[in-house]
Amino acid sequence: MDEPNDEYLNDELIEEDLFLDEELPPGHRAGYVAVIGKPNVGKSTLMNVLLGEKVAIVSPKPQTTRDRQLGILTLPEAQIIFVDTPGIHRARNRLGEYMVERATEAIPDADLILFMVDISEMPGKADEIIAELVNEQEGTPALLVMNKSDLISGDVIARHQAAYQALVPRARPIMISATRGDNVPELLDMIIEALPEGPRYFPPDQLTDAQLRDSAAEIIREKVLLLYEQEVPHSVAVEIEEFKERSEDLTYIRATIYVERESQKGILIGQGGKMLKKLGQMARPELEEMLGTRVYLDLWVKVLKNWRKNEQALRRLGYRLRKRR
Look at residue 20 in the predicted model and tell me its pLDDT: 52
Q: Is residue 89 situated within a structural domain?
A: yes
156 and 22 together in one domain: yes
Instruction: Kindly state the average pLDDT of the residues 69-95.
Output: 87
pLDDT tens string 245-258: 899 899 999 999 99
Q: How confident is the model over 218-238, as a mean pLDDT?
A: 85
Q: Mark whether 38 and 175 lie in a shared domain.
A: yes
SS3 172: strand
Give yes or no: residues 216 and 189 share one domain.
no
176 shares a domain with 124: yes
* Closest to 241 in 3D by CA, of 189, 147, 318, 305: 318
User: In the listed set 194, 228, 249, which residue is the last one of a domain according to the structure?
Assistant: 194
Q: Count CA within 13 A, CB hemisphere, residue 209.
A: 13
Torsion of CA 76, 78, 84, 85, to 10 degrees: 170
- The reply to whether 323 falls in a domain is no
Q: Is residue 202 part of a domain?
A: no
Same domain, 46 and 160: yes
Q: Would you say 19 and 200 are in contact if contact means Cβ atoms under 8 Å apart?
A: yes
> Is 74 contained in some domain?
yes
Give yes or no: residues 163 and 276 share one domain.
Answer: no
- What lies within 8 Å, CB to CB, of 217 at 6+ separation is 238, 239, 240, 255
| One domain for residues 134 and 249 | no
Q: What is the CATH number of the domain that holds 55?
A: 3.40.50.300
pTM for this predicted structure? 0.78
Of 164, 194, 224, the residue at which a domain comes to its end is: 194
Contact in structure between 247 and 89 (CB atoms under 8 Å): no
Q: Indicate if 179 and 236 belong to the same structural domain.
A: no
Domain count, the chain: 2
Last residue within a domain, chosen from 132, 163, 194: 194
201 in any annotated domain = no
pLDDT of residue 240: 93
17-21, 36-40, 225-229: which range is least confident on average? 17-21
Are 165 and 276 within one domain? no
On whether both 84 and 225 belong to a single domain, the answer is no
Is 10 contained in some domain? no
137 and 40 in a common domain: yes
pLDDT band at 53 (very low <50, low <70, confident <90, very high): confident
The pLDDT of residue 5 is above 80: no
Residue 50 has pLDDT above 90, yes or no: yes
What's the CATH number where 232 sits?
3.30.300.20
Q: Average pLDDT, stretch 308-321?
A: 84
Res. 11: pLDDT tops 50: no
Domain that holds residue 234: 212-316
Q: What value does the mean pLDDT take over residues 268-283?
A: 95
- The answer as to whether 203 is a domain residue is no
Distances (CA, A) of 45 to 1, 2, 56, 82, 202: 36, 33, 8, 12, 22
Q: Is the pLDDT of residue 2 over 70?
A: no
**Residue 226 domain flag:** yes
Degrees to nearest 5, angle at CA 212 with 304 and 40: 65
Residue 180 shares a structural domain with residue 92:
yes
Ordered alpha helix ranges (H), 6-120: 43-51, 94-109
SS3 category, 243: strand
Q: Which of 130, 119, 125, 111 is nearest to 168 (CA)?
A: 130
